[in-house]
């Protein structure tokens, strides 16, 4: 059990419409996924002083995916995107210093990430969307709902930390001694596969680690002020404690809580959780997310 939780900790650390024309200084190309089954647009957009990489899949109501620490779009959401994009427009990006996105001369912060995501969406002409953030991306998604409520329809926060007591006490000692060599190989490979400069791997790791070491609680008043309908997802063997997920659920008045069997990120097919027996139909969080998001369509029909 302890070994499983430690791996989860490593992951946590290193953890409108398609017709809109993005304001982009880089490429804006139509691509296909490696197996050729899914088409998407990708490019870079000027966002608060950095060039942010993004990908757009499918058509329909926009759903924004926000990855966790040490991750790329594909390492977090590669297995989930083909399912989510069947009925929705999926917008995914890589945050500051991650993957194909540039860095700035400043530490990482969840607040800045939230502002960067909001600016990217403005550049893409998307006024309002649903958001799904995993791990550190879940914390960023909470900040999006706090700082940019006008842009939010619904949010899904998966394995998100809002308070320091939301993880076991040993976690913080582990973070104080974080080293690149202890980062899961799958995450290193995912970064090196797409990043323009392999030296950025150390920078990303160190900035992610520093952010977690200096993590500060989100004030209760800010969490309680979130009005957006919220789905909180937690795994029963997550690094985030069940008690913490329940606490956040109680603080957000219009929220639902789902406890799913498995480890940190297993419910979306996060890359470090995959095994030879993996099947996409096993991603039980996806139909749960779709049902939660589709509830608004039913509500609109009520007199």
> Residue 1: is its pLDDT beyond 80?
no
What is the tens place of the pLDDT at every residue in 87-112? 999 999 999 999 999 999 999 999 99
Q: Give the predicted TM-score (pTM) of the model.
A: 0.89
Task: Give the CATH architecture of domain 2-300.
Answer: 3-Layer(aba) Sandwich (3.40)
pLDDT of the residue at 23: 46
Q: Which three-class secondary structure state does DSSP give residue 50?
A: strand
> Residue 12: is its pLDDT beyond 60?
no
Task: Go through the chain and tell me how many residues it has.
Answer: 303
Q: Considering the chain, what percentage of its residues have pLDDT values greater than 70?
A: 87
Could you tell me which residues are beta bridge partners of residue 50? 47
What is the tens place of the pLDDT at every residue in 52-84? 999 999 999 999 999 999 999 999 999 999 999
Strand (E) positions, 166-215? none
pLDDT of the residue at 146: 98
pLDDT of the residue at 32: 78
How far apart are the C-alpha atoms of 100 and 19, rounded to whole Å?
24
What is the tens place of the pLDDT at every residue in 137-193? 999 999 999 999 999 999 999 999 999 999 999 999 989 999 999 999 999 999 999
pLDDT of the residue at 296: 63
Spans of all domains in the chain: 2-300
How far apart are the C-alpha atoms of 107 and 96, rounded to whole Å?
10
pLDDT of the residue at 36: 66
How far apart are the C-alpha atoms of 165 and 172, rounded to whole Å?
10
Residue recorded with tokens 């942010």: 52
pLDDT greater at residue 32 or residue 69: 69
Please report, in angstroms and rounded to a whole number, the separation of the first and last CA atoms in the chain: 51
pLDDT of the residue at 275: 87
> Residue 37: is its pLDDT beyond 80?
no
């Amino acid at each position: 059990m302890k070994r499983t939780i430690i791996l989860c900790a490593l992951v946590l650390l290193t953890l409108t419409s398609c017709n809109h024309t993005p304001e982009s200084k880089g490429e804006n190309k139509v691509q296909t996924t490696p197996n050729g089954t899914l088409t998407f647009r990708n490019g870079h957009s000027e966002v608060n002083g950095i060039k942010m990489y993004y990908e757009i899949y499918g058509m329909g109501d926009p759903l924004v995916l926000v990855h966790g620490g040490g991750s790329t779009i594909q390492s977090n959401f590669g297995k989930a995107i083909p399912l989510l994009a069947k009925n929705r427009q999926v917008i995914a990006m890589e945050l500051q210093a991650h993957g194909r996105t540039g860095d700035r001369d400043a530490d990482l912060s969840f607040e800045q990430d939230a502002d960067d995501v909001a600016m990217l969406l403005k550049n893409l002409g998307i006024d309002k969307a649903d958001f799904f953030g995993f791990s550190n991306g879940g914390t960023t998604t909470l900040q999006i709902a706090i700082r940019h409520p006008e842009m939010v329809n619904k949010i899904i926060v998966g394995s998100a930390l809002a308070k320091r007591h939301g993880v076991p006490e040993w976690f913080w000692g582990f973070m104080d001694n974080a080293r690149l060599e202890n980062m899961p190989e799958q995450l290193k490979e995912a970064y090196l596969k797409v990043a323009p400069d392999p030296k950025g791997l150390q920078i990303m790791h160190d900035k992610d680690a520093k952010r977690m070491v200096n993590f500060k609680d989100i004030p209760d008043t800010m969490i309680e002020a979130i009005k957006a309908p919220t789905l909180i997802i937690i795994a029963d063997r997550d690094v985030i404690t069940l008690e913490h997920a329940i606490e956040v659920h109680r603080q957000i008045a219009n929220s639902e809580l789902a406890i799913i069997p498995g480890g940190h990120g297993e419910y979306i097919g996060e890359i470090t959780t995959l095994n030879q027996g993996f099947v996409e139909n096993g991603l039980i969080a996806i139909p749960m997310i779709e049902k939660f998001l589709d509830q608004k369509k039913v509500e609109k029909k009520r007199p």
